Amino acid sequence: MALNTSRSGELYVKACTLLPGGVNSPVRAFRSVGGHPLYFKLGKGSHIIDEDGNDFIDYCMSWGPLILGHADNDVVKAIQKVAENGTSFGAPHEGEISIAEMVVNAFPSIEKVRFVNSGTEATMSAIRLARGFTGKSKIIKFDGCYHGHADHLLVAAGSGLATFGMPDSAGVTKNAAKDTIVVKYNDIDALHQVLSHNDDIACCIMEPVCCNYGLILPENDYLHKVRQLCTQHNVLLIFDEVITGFRLARGGAQERFGVHADITTLGKIIGGGLPVGAYGGKAEIMAKVAPDGPVYQAGTLSGNPIAVAAGIATLQKLVPSAYQKLEELGKYFEEQMKPVVSRYNGKMLFVRFASIFALYFSKDETITTVDQVKESNMQQFAQFHRLMLERGVYLSPSGYEVGFLSLAHSKDDIDATIKAIDESLALVLG
Ligand SMILES: *Cc1c(COP(=O)(O)O)cnc(C)c1O
């Protein structure tokens, strides 16, 4: 069942002469699963077709934005209509107000919102705002949570329970890292200790559900306890809902878990597949953002009419029945996986929450810590990934990444995927 990927292979060779690693974002290069990346020419609904004509059921879904599927008709029409009237003004337009209203209505903790061009920009700006608002300088992040590639967020845990961060990338200075304290996700005592011994902390930034290091759910009441501690210590809580916003529910993890953040960052889905990010919170906090306040933040293309139109067209379709459908689809996937998982009991694990899933080659029965994900077998994942490609299923090319269901996926897609998983697991684990 070898896949013909010769044209992708040729393109990759040329790309490598022009782009670092042949790509514009590192995971795309397939380094952790081996082989070369595939080049895509078409996406429609749940399917993508590469330059060699191979047709895949897609679960990467551009890493989360495409909750309606590829090239949704309404999104495409909205983009076309707006583009004809000008692609950018660098001046206000009505669409910005419409999408802001949608965000504010979906998130009770957001009274005002600023749009930017990526999730990275959103978290970077949210942290500057938290520092500007509180007048404090340190931040807390959680091991395994990803918030884009700003210097002070590319920080890894040192050794020990909770530590001052170490640069996690060349080019990040010790100085940029030293104001970031890293604690373990799902470890409330570690957070408690840091907060009790430090009075210069501006904010805690976290993914309420960890979706960038496998899929790790918050343990019982964890988010409520984090909220309590932050309030108690006068520290702003930033929920990075770039993935979970409009995905777990219209109001994101905050709606799902009933916990409110002080500042929320958004991205991915709110751009409907175009480059967008946003950060928002209470009016009192947002009043610090320029031009109302002293925290500077700007963008030539921020609030871009086309990106905003794609976002609006996407959010308009995310009505309650859409989330019901996604939940049913997710549940169906999980149910169909049960007999498969039980056949390989103790060798692999399938986790699903709403329309997000992850598959681990792990002995553990549940995954609640980053360390467990680290210990899962990534060689087996790499082999599995290749076998799935050969069977027409495109998973994100890394065992640390999650899969996304969209409203375009059907039960037939899932049945075909389960068959591919079953066959592939037999070869990896059999
Ligand atoms: C993707 C992501 C980001 C970064 O967004 P970009 O648009 O890639 O800059 C930040 N936070 C989370 C939780 C993400 O998943």
184 tagged catalytic: no
Q: How far apart are CA 167 and CA 173, in angstroms?
A: 7
Structural domain includes residue 1: no
* Closest atom of ligand 1 relative to the 120 alpha carbon: 9
Structural domain includes residue 183: yes
From 27, 63, 123, 154, mutation site for ligand 1 pocket: most ligand atoms within 8 A of C-beta = 123
Structural domain includes residue 325: yes
How confident is the chain (430 residues) per 10-residue block, as mean pLDDT?
A: 92 98 96 96 98 98 98 98 97 98 98 98 98 98 94 80 77 92 96 96 98 96 98 98 98 98 98 98 98 98 98 98 98 98 93 98 95 95 98 97 98 98 96
Q: DSSP string covering 111-173, please?
A: SEEEEESSHHHHHHHHHHHHHHHH---EEEEEET----S-GGGSEE--SSSSEE-EESSTT--
Ligand 1 centre distance from Cα of residue 265 (Å): 9
Range of the domain at 16: 6-67+319-429
Boundary (domain end) residue, out of 317, 348, 380: 317
The count of structural domains within the chain is: 2
Q: Whose CA is nearest to atom 6 of ligand 1?
A: 119
Boundary (domain end) residue, out of 284, 317, 350: 317
Same domain, 293 and 327: no
Binding pocket residue ranges, ligand 1, CB within 6 Å: 118-120, 123, 146-148, 207, 212, 240, 242-243, 267, 277
Whole-number pLDDT of residue 403:
98
394 tagged catalytic: no
Q: Catalytic residue among 268, 360, 394, 413, which?
A: 268
CATH code of the domain covering residue 148: 3.40.640.10
Same domain, 289 and 374: no
Structural domain includes residue 115: yes
Whole-number pLDDT of residue 382:
97
Same domain, 46 and 89: no
Whole-number pLDDT of residue 345:
84
Structural domain includes residue 57: yes
Same domain, 10 and 148: no
268 tagged catalytic: yes
- Cα dihedral: 363, 365, 369, 374 (round 10): 20
Residue 2 burial by CB count (10 A; 0-12/13-18/19+): exposed, middle or buried? exposed
Boundary (domain end) residue, out of 271, 294, 317: 317
Whole-number pLDDT of residue 360:
96
Structural domain includes residue 263: yes
